[in-house]
Amino acid sequence: MEFANRLVAAATKAANNNTVINVCLVGSFLVLAARSANQQNNIEALKAEKDSLVKSNKAMKKTMWDWKQQLFSEAETDSDLVTVARLRAIYGEAPPPQTASAVC
């Protein structure tokens, strides 16, 4: 019991001591500053990754657009491997051809 009383007395004395309070406040500030710096570094890394992904996405979209245009130009030539109408149906640019075997 005496140990508990000493502990409570020491805690009360520390709570009333401005030096102890200031040390705790400075320590808290340093911990928050370190956490903030870490979060800022993470944010900057994520922004750089986002920019890289956006550039990659744009490049892939352009490549796919070029491939699609090449397919259409090849389909319009005389040697049709796949007809233009079929390509338009695949890409959703035209309604699919209706078949006569529709079930009512």
Per-residue pLDDT 10s for the chain (104 aa) are 888 888 888 888 888 888 888 998 999 999 999 999 999 999 999 999 999 999 999 999 999 999 988 888 877 776 667 777 777 788 777 665 666 655 54
User: 98 in a domain, yes or no?
Assistant: no
User: 36 in a domain, yes or no?
Assistant: yes
User: 41 in a domain, yes or no?
Assistant: yes
- Alpha helix locations (H) across the chain? 2-16, 18-75, 84-90
Domain count, the chain: 1
**Per-residue model confidence (pLDDT) at position 101:** 59
Enter the pTM of the model: 0.52
**Per-residue model confidence (pLDDT) at position 96:** 58
User: 104 in a domain, yes or no?
Assistant: no
User: 103 in a domain, yes or no?
Assistant: no
Spatial distance between the Cα atoms of 47 and 39, rounded to a whole number of angstroms: 12
- Taking a C-beta distance cutoff of 8 angstroms, is the pair 90, 78 a contact? no
Range of the domain at 15: 2-90
**Per-residue model confidence (pLDDT) at position 19:** 86
User: 59 in a domain, yes or no?
Assistant: yes
